[in-house]
Amino acid sequence: MQTAGAGVKAGVALLLTLAAGFVDIVGFLSAYHAFTAQMTGNTVHLGHWLAQRNWSGAGMTAATVAAFVLGSIVGRVVIEIASRRRVRSVASVTLALEVLLIAGFIFIVTGASRAHPKPLLIAMLAAAMGVQTATLTRVGPLTIHTTFLTGMLNKLAQMMAHAVFHTYDLLRTRLKDERGAHRDLQHEALRQGSFLFAVWLCYLAGAVTGSFFEARWEIRALYLPVALLLAGIAIDQWKPLSVESERDQPER
Residue 42 lies in a domain: yes
pLDDT along the chain (252 residues), means of 10: 78 96 92 83 92 92 95 93 84 95 92 72 94 90 88 94 91 79 90 96 97 94 97 93 55 48
Looking at residue 140, what is its pLDDT? Answer: 81
Cα–Cα distance measured from residue 157 to residue 192, given in angstroms and rounded to the nearest whole number: 11
Looking at residue 115, what is its pLDDT? Answer: 66
Looking at residue 1, what is its pLDDT? Answer: 53
Q: Which long-range contacts does 227-230 make (Cβ < 8 Å, 24+ apart)? A: 228/15, 228/16, 228/18, 228/19, 228/22, 229/16, 229/19, 229/95, 229/98, 229/99, 229/102, 230/99
Sign of the C-alpha dihedral computed for residues 132, 136, 137 and 139 taken in this order:
negative
Residue 181 lies in a domain: no
What one-letter code names the amino acid at 91? A
The β-bridge relationship of strands 138-139 and 142-143 is antiparallel
Residue 147 lies in a domain: no
Q: Model's pTM, two decimal places? A: 0.91
- Angle, alpha carbons 57-59-64 (nearest 5°): 95
3-class SS of residue 138? strand
Residue 220 lies in a domain: yes
Looking at residue 170, what is its pLDDT? Answer: 84
Q: Which domain holds residue 38?
A: 6-139+203-246
Q: Structural domain tally of the chain?
A: 1
Helix/strand number for the chain, H first, E second: 8, 2
Looking at residue 250, what is its pLDDT? Answer: 47
Residue 175 lies in a domain: no
Sign of the C-alpha dihedral computed for residues 234, 238, 241 and 245 taken in this order:
positive
Residue 164 lies in a domain: no
DSSP helix, strand, coil percent of the chain (3-state; round to 5): 80, 0, 20
Looking at residue 134, what is its pLDDT? Answer: 92
Residue 134 lies in a domain: yes
Residue 74 lies in a domain: yes
Looking at residue 141, what is its pLDDT? Answer: 82
- Angstrom CA distances, 37 to 2, 24, 27, 60, 147, stand at 32, 6, 9, 14, 6
Q: Please list, in sequence order, all residues whose beta carbon lies within 8 angstroms of the beta carbon of residue 241, skipping any fewer than 6 positions away.
A: 3, 4, 8, 9, 12, 89, 91, 136, 235
